[in-house]
Amino acid sequence: MERQPREGIGRSPTDAAGAGTERRLAAWRQAVTGNVLNLGLVSLFTDLSSEMMNPLLPVFISGLLAPGPDVAARTALFVGLLEGIAETTSSLLKIAAGSWSDRLGRRKTLVAFGYGFSSLCRPLMAIAQSAWHAVALKFLDRVGKGIRTSPRDALIGDSVAAEHRGLAFSLHRAMDHTGAIVGPLAALALLQLLLGRTMWHGSASVPTPAEMRALRWLFALALFPGVGAMAVILWRVREAGARAPAARAEAGAAPAAARPLPGRFRAFVGIAALFALGNSSDLFIVFLGRARFGFSLVHLVGLWIALHVAKVAFSLPGGIISDRVGRRPVIVAGWLVYAAIYLGLAATRTAHGFVALVIAYGFYHGMTEGVEKALVADFAPPERRGTAFGIYHGAVGLAALPASLLFGVVWRLYGPALAFGLGATLAAVATLLLVLLLVSAGGVPASEDGR
C-alpha cells in the first residue's frame, strides 16, 4: 500500500502557497456565508421592522403628550426615559442570556425566543394611548433583544475563524443597517399612501391627528418583517461550535469556570461602559432636526436613511481594516470622530450643516460596532464566549439608562447644546483611556488578543 506523504513533505513551494491561499479563501467564505449571512438576514428583517418605527417615535410620543409650550422638552425627557429603561432591562438580560447559552451549550433556542418575543410586542405600539404606554412597549421589545443578543453574537464568533472575525461581525452590522435603510423607505411609501402631499409639511409642534393615525397604521404593519426574521431563524440558522457541558467533560475539556476571562477584557469593558455613558440614543439626533430646524416626517425619515447608508458604507471597511491592523486603533478612530460630531451637533445652526454631521456620524458606527464585538470574541475562550458577550453588552447597556436619561434631563434644563457637549466630553475621556490601554498592551494585534 502506497504511503501518502505527510503535509508539507514532497510538495513544491508553489503547491504549498496554493494550499495556503485555498485555506484563506475558505476561511473568508466562511466569514460571509452560513450562519453569518443568515443571522445578517435575521437582523435585516428585524431592523426593517423596528426602523419603520424608530425615527418617528419621538414625534409619536410628542403627540401622546398634553399640548403646551414645553412639549419638545417633555418629549426629550420621555425619549430619554424610554431608551434608558428599555436598554438597561435589555442589558441585564444580555448578561444572563450569555451565561445561559454557555451552560446549555446551545445558542439558537435563545436567539429564536428573543427575536420572536420582540416581533410580537413591537407592533403593539400602534395602540399606545399615552407616553407611558410607549415606554412599557419599548421595555417589552427590549426584553426580547436582551435574550437574543449575547447568544447571537457568540454564535457568530463560534462560526468563523479568528482572522476574519472583524469582517464577519462588520458584515452582520452592515446587513443590520441595510434593514435600517429599507425600513424607513417602507415607512416613506406608507406615509405617502396614508398622508399624501401633507407628509412633506412639518413644524416643531405636535403631530396632527392625521399624522398620528398614519403612524399607528405604520407601527401595526411592522409585524410582517418580524415574521420573516423568524422564518430565517427556524429554517436556516444552525448551531456551530457550542456543546453541552456534559459533552465537554467527556471530551476532557477544562470546565468553563477554570478559564477566567483576561484582565485586558475587563479593562476594555470598563472603558467601553464609560464611553457608553456619553453615548445617548440616536433618537435625540433625529429629534434635534425636528426641534431646531422644523423637519417634517419625511425629512426625519430621509435623515435616518442617510445615516444608515453611511453606517453600511463604513462597516465593511472598518472590519477589514481591524483584521489587518488590530481592533483597538480602529475603535480609537471611531470614538474620536464621535466626540467631534457631538461637538458639531452642539454648535451647528444650519440645516445643511446638521445633515452633513449626521452623515459623517456613520463613520463612527462603521469603525466601532462590529469591531468592538470582534475584539470581545478575540478575548474570550470559546466555552465562555456567551458569558463574555453578556458582560460586554451588559456593562455597555447598563450605562444606557443614565446616558439617555441624563441627556434628556440636561436638554430639559439647559438645552440641546450642553447635552451634546457633555456627550462629547465623556467620549473624549474614554478615548484617552483606550489609547493608554493600547500603549500598555504594546500594540498587540487583535488576532492575538485572548490567546
pLDDT tens for the chain, residues 1 to 451: 444 444 444 555 555 445 555 665 665 666 677 889 999 999 999 999 998 998 889 889 988 988 877 787 888 888 888 877 777 788 889 889 988 988 888 889 999 999 999 999 999 999 999 999 999 999 999 899 999 999 999 999 888 887 888 888 989 988 998 998 899 889 888 888 888 766 666 555 578 888 899 999 999 999 999 999 999 999 999 887 654 443 444 444 444 444 688 888 999 999 999 999 988 888 889 889 888 888 887 788 888 888 888 988 888 888 889 888 888 899 999 999 999 999 999 999 999 999 999 999 989 988 898 999 999 998 888 888 899 999 998 898 888 778 888 888 898 889 999 999 999 999 999 999 998 876 665 444 444 444 4
CA-to-CA separations, 425 to 11, 342, 345, 408, in angstroms, rounded: 58, 9, 13, 16
- pTM as predicted: 0.76
Do the domain assignments include residue 248?
A: no
Decide: 49 and 222 in contact? Cβ < 8 Å: yes
Task: Give me the DSSP letters along 65-108.
Answer: SPP-TTHHHHHHHHHHHHHHHHHHHHHHHHHHHHHHHHHHT--H
* CA-based radius of gyration for the chain: 23
Measure Cα distances from 55 to 1, 3, 338, 364 in Å: 70, 66, 20, 19
Burial of 178 (0-12, 13-18, 19+ CB in 10 A): buried
Query: Does some domain include residue 24?
Result: no
State the pLDDT at residue 221: 94
pLDDT value at residue 305: 85
| Residue 169 placed within a domain | yes
CA distance linking residue 129 with residue 131, whole number of Å: 7
Q: What is the pLDDT of residue 6?
A: 44
Does a structural domain hold residue 21?
A: no
Domain extent at residue 205: 32-241+260-448
Q: Is residue 12 part of a domain?
A: no
**pLDDT at site 144:** 94
pLDDT of residue 441: 54
Cβ pair 79, 400 in contact under 8 A: no
**In-domain check, residue 311:** yes
Query: How confident is the model at residue 254, as a pLDDT?
Result: 45
Domain count across the chain = 1
Q: How confident is the model at residue 199, as a pLDDT?
A: 61
Cβ–Cβ < 8 Å for 429, 274: yes
Q: What is the pLDDT, as a whole number, of residue 315?
A: 87
Give, in degrees to the nearest 5, the angle at Cα 315 between 185 and 284: 55
Distances (CA, A) of 157 to 50, 137, 444: 25, 31, 20
**Residue 113: per-residue pLDDT:** 95
CATH code: domain of residue 120: 1.20.1250.20
Distance, CA of 64 to CA of 131 (rounded, Å):
6
Residue 411 lies in a domain: yes
pLDDT at 295: 86
